[in-house]
Amino acid sequence: MTTAPEMRTTFAHYKADAHNWITLASGEFYPDILIDACLLYAPVLEIFGRLVRTSESSERLFMQIADIREGWMRIQLSRVFKRYVSPGTPVEMLKKKSQAAQICASYRDEFRPIHEVQAAFSSRPIPDEPLCALLWEYKDRGKKGYDLTERFFTLFRSRFPDLPLIGPERAGRDVLLGKVFSEYPNPKRPVDFIIYDERKATILAVGLARYDSDRGGAQEDDRTGGYRDCAREILTYAQQHDLPTKVIFLNDGPGLLLGSMWNDYAAIEEAWGGKVLITTLRMVPERISASWLYIGDIL
């Protein structure tokens, strides 16, 4: 006698075979990438070497990098600067040209002296294969998230052709909720997509999409804590204005299998009684239904 399969009702119910419900993005093999990486980043290292040789201090080196007009080159030079001169300085700060003087004032005492930088740089070949490989890791950063969003848009539209889905399908500006809801308390709150019923002029759901290649420790806490705050903010507004709007967190990748991530997401979903839905791409056909979008019934 066979028994009927158990009906999965919440994100937590998928944990028993969680590895079957995540999508693994394809990657590139080492050292296969080295030829392309060296071709792409050799000019960056050549310019960095020229700036190193003509700078009387590490502070001056950074200011010369900040003066580079072409954005892509300036960012790559900043990443090389971090490796050689200031490992403790956040890359995001180094990339902000407008804050160059402030960064120097705050971090220059931690900069490696320029004569040490010159000696270290001159000891390496051009192109420096390990450094080119490190820079190559940044090249497609964010691509997995873009791929996830694009595939979700395609899948959702095939299942719900009558429900408009708006937002950047790959790279592009996030949707700001201040432009979606009137008098929204946090108008600059960014989301990745909006699902609405055009006939009823109703926002059915707002969503965020993330691909986690890996995640743990403080990063894990930051992500789930941010999701809890986002869900609370959106759903509190919806309740106050008697709106049917719900929240979708589309997450995927092997990072979901690490630490307490799966349990933490499940707890967020369960805390809101059907108003929040956590899903991977593979779960979408099972989890996102018209019944949930309109009523909040998770089947």
Name, in order, each residue with C-beta under 8 angstroms of 123's C-beta and a sequence gap of 6 or more. Answer: none
Question: Is the distance from CB of 210 to CB of 223 less than 8 angstroms?
Answer: yes
Q: How far apart are CA 128 and CA 42, in angstroms?
A: 8
Closest CA to 41 of 163, 167, 128: 128
Residue type, 62: F
**Residue 8 pLDDT exceeds 70:** no
Residue 209's alpha-carbon distances to 109, 195, 292, in angstroms, are: 40, 13, 18
3-state helix/strand/coil string of 147-172: HHHHHHHHHHHHHCCCCCEECCCCCC
pLDDT tens column, 174-225: 999 999 999 999 999 999 999 999 888 899 999 999 988 775 544 555 678 8
Q: Is 47 helix (H, G, I), strand (E, B) or coil?
A: helix
Token pair recorded at residue 233: 């903010």
Query: Given pLDDT bands bounded at 50, 70 and 90, which one contains residue 293?
Result: very high
Distance between the two ends of the chain, CA-based, in angstroms? Answer: 25
Residues 224-234: what's their mean pLDDT? 93
Token pair recorded at residue 47: 């310019």
Residues 242-270: what's their mean pLDDT? 92
**Residue 27 pLDDT exceeds 80:** no
Q: Please, what is the average pLDDT of the chain?
A: 88
What confidence score (pLDDT) does residue 138 get?
84
Tokens 């239904």, residue located: 289
pLDDT tens column, 98-150: 778 888 888 888 899 999 999 999 999 999 999 999 999 888 776 788 889 99
